[in-house]
Structure formats: C-alpha cells, structure tokens
Structure 1
Amino acid sequence: MSGEAWDAGEAVADGAGAQAQGSEAAGDAYGTCGRPLRKVARVVLLDERDRILLLHGHEPGDPADDWWFTPGGGLEGEETREQAALRELAEETGITDVELGPVLWRRVCSFPFAGRRWDQDEWYYLARTSQTVTRAAGLTELERRSVAGARWWTCRELARAHETVYPTRLAELLRRLLDEGPPERPETLDTEIV
C-alpha cells in the first residue's frame, strides 16, 4: 500500500454527541435502549487536494461485513468534543498536523457492533491537513480487530462507490461542503438506525 494509507487488522468503534452552536445541549438525549447517547466527535479531514480520509471498518470476526467511516470516537473523562476529535484523529490515523474547523453536521445513530447496540450523538468537525501519511498507533484492542485500513477519497470516487459509507449521505454532503463551504450553523442529519 502507498504511504497515504495504512492497512492491516487495526480497528475503530466510535461514539456520540449533540451540538447547539458549539455548546452541548442541556441534558442527555437517550437512545433505543433508554441509555444516554454516547457523545462522539468525528472529523471530516480534508487534504490539500480536497480528498477526505475514511477508515475501513468491519464487524470483528467478519471482514465481509464492512463499511467506511470518518475518524473519531467517544469523549473520555472531562474532555471537550474538540479535544476528543483531535485525540481520536491522532490515535486512529497518526495525523497531528491538523487545523480543526467548525462543526459541520450533527447526527444521532444506532447500530449493532461487536455484540452490542451503540446509540450515539455525533458531531462532525471540519479539519484540514497537509499530512497524508497515516499510521494507526493508538488503537484499542477492539479497534485493532475491526479496522482494516484508511484511504483518501476524492468526492467523485465517493459518489461512485458501491460500498457502505457512514453517514449514508456523505458523498452528497462533501460535494455541498466543497461547493458552498461550511454551513453557518451545524446541519442536523437524519437519524440513522441500522
């Protein structure tokens, strides 16, 4: 593989969040099982050629059950979403030379993964980097079993892909972002339940 992507049994399971103009909404939202939604920060990382970095995930033990998704994950301790976004990006990709921008989108999602249901409130941050070589050095044990690699995608490649990508409208959202720039306030995406 080229120096712009990494490969091999390295994994990622991620989390949730909600945003109102850069601050947490009051109170916790609840998921399908009555538990608070997991707060997650995700990164829409673009390089100097406007390619987006996606991770290739799969169900542990079943690489055929696979999908592509943005780097990111759940908040730890008292960290902010911005701190979580940068930490997760570094752990999952090794990329630290990054300019973190505004929150683009918010999404609530629920999906089965690794034998349980994950209910998440996700915030997607725009970020830019000139660093395209990736190396996942800070993955958890579960992540090492469920992520197969990373790849930089052009918007055109993403729009033509016949693969599962989350969020499901990512190609359309990326095209609009590149054409119009970031929204004035975060867009709330449709809830996705898998």
Structure 2
Amino acid sequence: LLFRFRFPDRTFWATPGGAVDEGETFEQAARRELLEETGLMGDLSGEVHRRYTVFTGPSGNRVEADERYFCLRTEGAEIDRSRWEPVEQEMIAETAWLSPADIRALPDPVFPENFADLVDYLKEAPRA
C-alpha cells in the first residue's frame, strides 16, 4: 500500500506512517498510524526495514527521521480516510495497492527507494 503525496513543489509515493508519540515503541506507533491512516488492524511482523533519512517537509522544514518499517499481510482492503487530519486530507492525493512491478513503473519517486524490492522479498519470506 502506498500513498501519493502532493506538495506544491513535488509529488511522491510513500508508505503509511508517522511520528512516534512519547512513551510508544516503534511497533506501537506503526499500529496506531496504520489504524489512523487506513482503518486497518492486524498482526504486524517484526521490523522489516530501517533507514535514517533527512528530507524537506511540506512547510520547508528540515526533517531528520529514523524510520522503521513493519509488514501487515493482507489481500487489500478499502482504505478508511475518516481519521485523517486536515493536513493529510490536503497532502495525500491517492492511495493504491500496487505490485512490485507497478511500483517500479511509477513516474514519481517512491520512499523508501527500495520498497519494490522489499515487497518482493517479503512475498517470498516464510510467514511467522
């Protein structure tokens, strides 16, 4: 699942996610963000990817992020946007369940950059 973000100066695709609240673990934050941004709940895998990145936020601010990625296996579902904050409603132009081939064919950047490879790997990985 990817979200297409539209900022005034750029468009890109990224996974659902967000900040870790005080007192939360990365996995707890992932569960909360997944529910808030998609309406989905379920058993997350352990951490499947991690990256440290620096980027420019929508208001031009510098963001340093220690990102952790988790996997929820599902056959796809309708995305519930009812919990979206106004800023998410403004920035997220589209949501899409995409195959690795479709991800690689997107004209806009995808973050994390190796997401299609990660999905390929997770499709073949044994389920816990």
Give the Cα–Cα distance (whole angstroms) in 2 for the partners of residues 167 and 140 of structure 1.
Answer: 23
1:93 to 30, 38, 51: 38
2:68 to 100, 123, 132: 123
Gaps of 5+ in 2: none
Per-residue deviation, 1:84: 0.8
- Structure-2 residue corresponding to 1:68: 13
Q: Which residue of 2 aligns with 1:145?
A: 90
Q: Work out the CA distance in 2 between the residues paired with 1:130 and 1:173.
A: 17
Query: Which structure has the bigger radius of gyration?
Result: 1
Aligned CA RMSD, in angstroms, stands at 1.7
Q: Deviations over 1:158-189 (max 9, x none)?
A: 1222221001121122222323x17xxxxxxx
Q: How does 1:41-190 map to 2 (within 5 A)?
A: 53-59=1-7, 62=8, 65-96=10-41, 98-115=42-59, 116-130=61-75, 132-179=77-124, 181=125
User: What secondary structure, in the 3-state scheme, does the structure 2 residue paired with 1:126 have?
Assistant: coil
2: CA distance between counterparts of 1:100 and 1:175? 17
Runs of 4+ in 1 over 4 A off after TM superposition: none
User: Any idea what SS the aligned residue of 2:46 has?
Assistant: strand
Q: Runs of 5+ in structure 1 lacking a partner? A: 1-52, 183-194
Distance verdict in 2 for CA 1:131–1:170, change over 3 Å: closer
| Paired residue total | 125
Under a length normalisation based on structure 2, what TM-score does the superposition of the two structures give?
0.87
| Seq. identity, % | 31
Say which structure, 1 or 2, has more relative contact order (CA 8 Å, 6+ apart). 1
> Offset at 1:139?
2.0
Q: Which has the higher strand share?
A: 1
Using the TM superposition, give the Cα deviation of residue 103 of structure 1 relative to its aligned residue in structure 2, in angstroms.
0.6
Offset, 1:131: 5.4
Q: How far does the alpha carbon of each residue in 1:58-104 deviate from its partner, in whole angstroms, 9 at most, with x for none?
A: 21xx2x621111111111121221111111011111112x2211111
Q: Could you say which structure has the higher helix fraction? A: 2
